Amino acid sequence: MAEPRTTPAIYAPFGRLIPCETVVTVDSASIQTPIIGLVTEDVYHLGKLVIPAGTELHGTAQTDRARERIASGSAWTLVWQTGEELRLKGIALDREFASNQEGWGITDGSAGLRGRLLKTDNLAEIKLFAATLLSGAASALTEQQPTIFGNLDSRSLNNAPLEGAQDVLEVYARRILDAIERDGFYVRVPSGKQFYLYVLQTIDRAGASVGGSGDPFPDENRATQRVVSVGPTPKHYSEP
* pLDDT tens figures, 75-117: 999 999 999 999 999 999 999 887 666 667 788 889 999 998 8
Backbone angles phi, psi at 65, to 5 degrees: -70, -30
Cβ-count burial of 95 within 10 angstroms (0-12 exposed, 13-18 middle, 19+ buried)? Answer: buried
pLDDT at 224: 36
Statement: residue 63 has pLDDT above 70: yes
- The whole-angstrom separation of Cα 68 and Cα 185 is 7
What does the pLDDT look like over 116-127, one tens digit per residue?
887 765 455 545
- The whole-angstrom separation of Cα 119 and Cα 94 is 20
Mean pLDDT over 161-186 rounds to: 68
Of residues 210 and 176, which shows the higher confidence score?
210
pLDDT at 101: 61
Residue 106: CB atoms within 10 Å: 8
Q: How confident is the model at residue 184 (pLDDT cuts 50, 70, 90)?
A: confident
pLDDT at 75: 96
Backbone angles phi, psi at 136, to 5 degrees: -70, -35
pTM here is 0.68
Q: How confident is the model at residue 181 (pLDDT cuts 50, 70, 90)?
A: confident
Region for 52 from its dihedrals, namely left if φ exceeds 0, alpha if ψ lies in -120 to 50, beta otherwise: beta
pLDDT at 95: 92
Backbone angles phi, psi at 236, to 5 degrees: -110, 140
- The whole-angstrom separation of Cα 141 and Cα 158 is 9
Q: Beta strand 75-79 with 225-230: parallel, antiparallel or unpaired?
A: unpaired
Q: Which long-range contacts (CB under 8 A, 24 or more apart) does 33-39 make?
A: 33/61, 34/58, 34/59, 34/60, 34/61, 35/59, 35/60, 35/61, 35/70, 35/72, 35/92, 35/113, 37/195, 37/197
SS3 of 16, please?
coil
Enter the DSSP assignment of 185.
Answer: E
Least confident range from 52-56, 70-74, 168-172: namely: 168-172
Is the CA virtual torsion 51, 54, 56, 62 positive or negative? Answer: positive
Amino acid letter at 66? A
Average pLDDT, the chain: 75
Of residues 174 and 196, which shows the higher confidence score?
196
pLDDT at 29: 82
Statement: residue 194 has pLDDT above 80: yes
Mean pLDDT over 48-57 rounds to: 96
Q: How confident is the model at residue 174 (pLDDT cuts 50, 70, 90)?
A: confident
